Amino acid sequence: MKHILVIFLICILFSCKPKVVREYIMEPCPEEEKKSMAIVKQELLDGGFEIFDYVDEETGDTIIMQKYFMVFLNRGSNRDQNKAETDSLQALHMAHLTRMYEEGYADISGPFGDDGDMRGITIYNVPNLKFVDSLAHLDPMVKAGRLELEIKPWWAGKGYPLR
């Protein structure tokens, strides 16, 4: 199962994102035109996103900062499922995360590399806490109590890739 997760994450990091996600990114896939900062800013504001901008003194570039939401998936209190139930929940959990990514609500997600209480993270690209809370609670692992959520707002520069 770990190999499937690694392949899933590699595919996410090295593929173009679905159009619903790409439309707000400064570095589009080759088949799309680059949007101006003014258009990106207006589209984010029209979509209800919290943003601010500033000018980078070194480059003179306008940087748009957007509020995202980090959802930490913590070990839940109901972990007494048998192996078949756990495997089924894991498959449903992965399907949920894939759907969040494909529909443009989540930008990246994955498990942590240890066996601690904090099991994984998903970064959601949605306008507000109510929206992310409703989406994250759709996760079958959360519904079953196997995982519990901790949601934190997080500011990041719009369009910067992971390196």
pLDDT tens, the chain, 163 aa long: 444 443 444 444 434 443 333 344 444 455 446 788 889 999 999 999 999 999 999 999 889 999 999 999 999 999 999 999 999 999 999 999 999 999 999 999 999 999 999 999 999 999 999 999 999 999 999 999 999 999 999 999 988 876 7
Res 106: pLDDT: 96
Q: Please give the structure tokens belonging to residue 70.
A: 């980090």
Res 34: pLDDT: 77
Res 163: pLDDT: 72
Rounded Cα distance between 22 and 16, Å, is 8
Per-domain residue ranges of the chain: 2-157
Which residues in 8-26 are b (16+ Cβ under 10 Å) and which e? Answer: beeebeeeebeeebbbbbb
Rounded Cα distance between 49 and 30, Å, is 26
For residue 74, the surrounding DSSP H or E stretch is strand 62-75
Res 87: pLDDT: 96
What is the DSSP code (8-state) at residue 163? -
Q: Amino acid identity of 14?
A: F
Rounded Cα distance between 21 and 13, Å, is 13
Rounded Cα distance between 123 and 49, Å, is 15
Q: Please give the structure tokens belonging to residue 73.
A: 């998936």
Specify the fold of 2-157: Alpha-Beta Plaits (3.30.70)
Res 15: pLDDT: 42
Helix 2-14 and helix 83-102: axis angle, to 10°? 0
Res 80: pLDDT: 93
Res 114: pLDDT: 95
Q: Amino acid identity of 127?
A: P
Res 33: pLDDT: 62
* Helices and strands (H and E) in the chain: how many: 6, 5
